[in-house]
């Protein structure tokens, strides 16, 4: 019996793969040799990652043509060819397992994972609806056919003439992404950790060095410390010892050495707005721009608190960002990144983190 799998991916990956541009699924972290349980002909069903307010759905599937571990050089070549969505920056000597496929088939109806209570493998006791998928989960023919039955077939796509030049391809990508931004609400998980994760990713994409006061916390399956490119020692070097202690307690810090400027972010979900602003006020001696990131429903509370005399010194340098604002900023950063990435990727692959 063939081995198939459920893979986890964000909606942006699914949309890029469905467009026909992406032909490689890459794993974020190194995997063991057990990945070879998937072979040519294995079918991988792609499940969207969890987001607040959005159920996980089975978006589509692809058939594996090859399973291979690639080094940083080959990974970079695949990325430059546009076959990998939002490629990683691998260090020299790093390797990643990748799955190659020719076509991603989007489901006509995208069944919710929690609706698959009657779909299971031939040997499994638990249905797919309660299975926890953190990256890859193996299934068999019976489960695959059950998912396909719920999906009701595939989306029919009209054949289009592929772009003939690099600039045409770039313009096509930008146009597609702009339409995506206009059409989507872009929901963001309303958790402290996931807001910090978004800020760390966005800061790195914009070329900043980034720091978090919460390196051990996790959003999804990503540890925040794995995205940080600055340590406490780096902060001391750039900010000096006078404000070091205060700066290390800030949720997320961006720093750009060329302009010697700091961007500091305090995420307030269930926390105290006064305390968050006090932490920001303690680093006011730096060349710094400050942000409170919170739900839109707390904007008036922020405006009331920052109007207090205590915060007069930072009132003009602090900005309120709603979670929705942050989501839009992140997606526009992604849009920019995907637009320019083909031009600069050869210099990123193999580059050191940070």
What's the Cα-to-Cα distance from 198 to each of 47, 143, 221, 349, 354, rounded to whole Å? 21, 34, 14, 22, 16
Closest Cα partner for 239 from 256, 251, 252? 256
Tens-place pLDDT, residues 333-343 = 766 665 554 43
Exposure of 94 by Cβ count < 10 A (0-12 exposed, 13-18 middle, 19+ buried)? middle
Quote the CA–CA distance of 224 and 339 in Å, as a whole number. 26
Arithmetic mean of pLDDT over the chain: 83
Tens-place pLDDT, residues 217-244 = 988 778 899 889 998 888 888 887 777 7
β-pairing verdict for 209-212 and 218-219:
unpaired
> So what's the pLDDT on residue 99?
95
Inform me whether the pLDDT recorded for 183 exceeds 60: no
pTM (2 decimals)?
0.48
Is 95 in a helix, a strand, or coil? strand
Q: Give yes or no for a contact between 328 and 336, defined as CB atoms under 8 angstroms apart.
A: no
**Average pLDDT value for residue range 253-258:** 88
Residue 161 DSSP label: P
C-alpha angle 36-50-118 in degrees, rounded to nearest 5: 75
Residue 344: pLDDT band (50, 70, 90) is very low
Inform me whether the pLDDT recorded for 21 exceeds 90: no
Question: What are 104's strand-pairing partners?
Answer: 62
């Amino acid at each position: 019996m063939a081995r198939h799998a459920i893979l986890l991916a964000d909606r942006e990956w699914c949309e890029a793969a469905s467009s026909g541009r992406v032909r490689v699924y890459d794993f974020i972290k190194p995997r063991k040799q057990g990945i070879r349980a998937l072979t040519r002909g294995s079918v991988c069903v792609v499940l969207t990652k969890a987001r607040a307010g959005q159920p996980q759905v089975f978006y589509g599937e692809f058939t594996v043509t090859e399973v291979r571990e690639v080094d940083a050089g080959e990974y970079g070549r695949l990325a430059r060819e546009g076959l990998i969505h939002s490629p990683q920056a691998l260090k020299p000597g790093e390797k990643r397992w990748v799955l190659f496929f020719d076509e991603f088939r989007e489901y006509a109806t995208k069944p919710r994972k929690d609706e698959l209570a009657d779909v299971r493998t031939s040997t499994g006791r638990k249905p797919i609806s309660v299975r926890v998928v953190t990256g890859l989960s193996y299934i068999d023919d019976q489960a695959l056919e059950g998912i396909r039955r719920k999906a009701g077939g595939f989306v029919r796509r009209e054949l289009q003439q592929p772009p003939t030049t690099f600039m045409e391809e770039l313009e096509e990508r930008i146009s597609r992404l702009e339409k995506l931004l206009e059409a989507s609400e872009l929901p963001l998980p309303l958790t402290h950790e996931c807001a910090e994760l978004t800020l760390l990713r966005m800061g790195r994409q914009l070329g900043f060095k980034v720091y978090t006061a919460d390196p051990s916390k996790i959003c999804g399956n990503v540890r925040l410390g794995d995205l940080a490119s600055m340590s406490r020692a780096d902060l001391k070097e750039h900010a000096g010892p006078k404000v070091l202690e205060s700066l290390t307690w800030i949720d997320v810090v961006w720093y750009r050495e060329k302009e010697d400027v700091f961007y500091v972010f305090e995420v307030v979900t269930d926390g105290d707005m006064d305390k968050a602003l006090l932490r920001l006020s303690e680093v006011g001696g730096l060349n710094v721009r400050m942000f409170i990131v919170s739900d839109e429903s707390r904007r008036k509370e922020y405006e009331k608190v920052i109007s207090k005399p205590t915060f007069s010194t930072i009132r003009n340098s602090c900005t309120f960002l709603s979670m929705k604002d942050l989501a839009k900023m992140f997606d526009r950063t992604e849009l920019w990144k995907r637009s320019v990435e083909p031009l600069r990727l050869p210099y990123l692959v193999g580059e050191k983190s940070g």
